[in-house]
């Protein structure tokens, strides 16, 4: 059974509240590439909208690729060079591109932070990481307190880190109970984590200044990889689409970066 691309986009936009993030996100969320009249029966999912995943979507005969990181960050000045090389295969092969960046980070059930919270077994969850009127993360309390080493081991065993170790800025308490999560590049919310009184901030990648900020504040920071912390949202969307009554065929492409 096929569905029109417009129906798929509308259903995803409604679930993700795409319009609510329109003025907050540099990403052009929603449908970035594709004709309105496209009929869809195969949907592919991946973290990044790049040449590698575009090629795999074409090989899989997918009608639409759903990603977290898309092509348009504030629009295109020119469709040349790498931008042209990425766009051309999609257009030539009638593959649509749907993108959800911050809306997928902030979704409290399907989002990336929610997925990391699931891995850590956190309870008493609440939105975390304010961005205007919205949130881009989640916080919660561990059922049993972690040591820094055990939390690091848990992340390394459950996340697609590409074989890389999870970096730990070990400046917090010996018992980690309350954890804040902002996936990807989330160290800008370190002060929020400190103000919230959590023991640790889990994110993907750091900035140089975070070392001394965490040390001075007495909080742990776990850097588990930008890619590794952001596989959960697109996988959750795949499960969501599979549960629709449209009987769409889905596939997921794992292309870890180790970063």
Do both 11 and 76 map to the same domain? yes
Do both 173 and 190 map to the same domain? yes
Give the largest CA-CA distance in the chain: 57
Between helices 81-92 and 51-59, what is the axis angle to 10°?
10
pLDDT digits (tens, 9 = 90+) for 197-214: 999 999 999 999 999 999
- How much of the chain exceeds pLDDT 70, in percent? 100
Do both 75 and 181 map to the same domain? no
Q: What is the mean pLDDT of residues 63-73?
A: 96
pLDDT of residue 82: 87
- Whether 58 is in a domain gets the answer yes
**Segments forming the whole domain that contains residue 210:** 105-229
Q: What is the mean pLDDT of residues 38-61?
A: 97
Q: Is 128 left (phi over 0), alpha (psi -120 to 50) or beta?
A: beta
- In the annotated binding site, the residues are 68-69, 105, 226, 230
| Cβ pair 184, 105 in contact under 8 A | yes
pLDDT of residue 150: 98
Do both 45 and 133 map to the same domain? no
pLDDT of residue 79: 86
pLDDT of residue 44: 98
Alpha carbon distance 140, 198 (integer Å):
9
81 CB neighbour count, 10 Å cutoff: 8
- In the annotated binding site for a divalent metal cation, the residues are 68-69, 105, 226, 230
Alpha carbon distance 234, 40 (integer Å):
18
Say which CATH number the domain at 23 has.
3.40.1390.30
Please tell me the total count of domains within the chain.
2
Q: For all residues of the chain together, what is the average pLDDT? A: 96
Model pTM score: 0.95
pLDDT of residue 193: 98
């Amino acid at each position: 059974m096929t569905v029109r691309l417009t129906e798929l986009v509308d259903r995803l936009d409604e679930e993700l509240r795409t319009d609510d993030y329109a003025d907050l996100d540099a990403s052009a969320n929603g449908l970035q590439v594709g004709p309105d009249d496209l009929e869809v029966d195969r949907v592919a999912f991946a973290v990044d909208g790049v040449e590698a995943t575009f090629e795999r979507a074409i090989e899989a005969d997918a009608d639409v690729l759903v990603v977290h990181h898309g092509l348009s960050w504030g629009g295109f000045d020119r469709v040349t060079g790498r931008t042209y090389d990425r766009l051309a295969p999609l257009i030539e092969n009638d593959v649509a591109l749907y993108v959800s960046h911050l809306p997928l980070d902030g979704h409290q059930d399907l989002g990336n932070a929610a997925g990391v919270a699931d891995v850590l077994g956190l309870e008493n969850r609440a939105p975390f990481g304010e961005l205007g009127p919205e949130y881009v993360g989640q916080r919660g309390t561990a059922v049993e307190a972690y040591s820094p080493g055990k939390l690091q081991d848990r992340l390394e065993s459950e996340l697609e880190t590409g074989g890389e170790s999870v970096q730990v800025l070990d400046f917090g308490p010996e018992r980690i109970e309350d954890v804040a999560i902002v996936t990807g590049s989330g160290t800008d919310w370190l002060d929020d984590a400190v103000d919230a009184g959590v023991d640790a901030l889990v994110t993907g990648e750091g900035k140089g200044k975070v070392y001394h900020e965490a040390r001075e504040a007495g909080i742990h920071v776990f850097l588990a990889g930008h890619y590794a912390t952001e596989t959960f949202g697109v996988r959750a969307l795949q499960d969501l689409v599979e549960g629709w009554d449209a009987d769409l065929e889905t596939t997921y492409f794992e292309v870890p970066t180790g970063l």
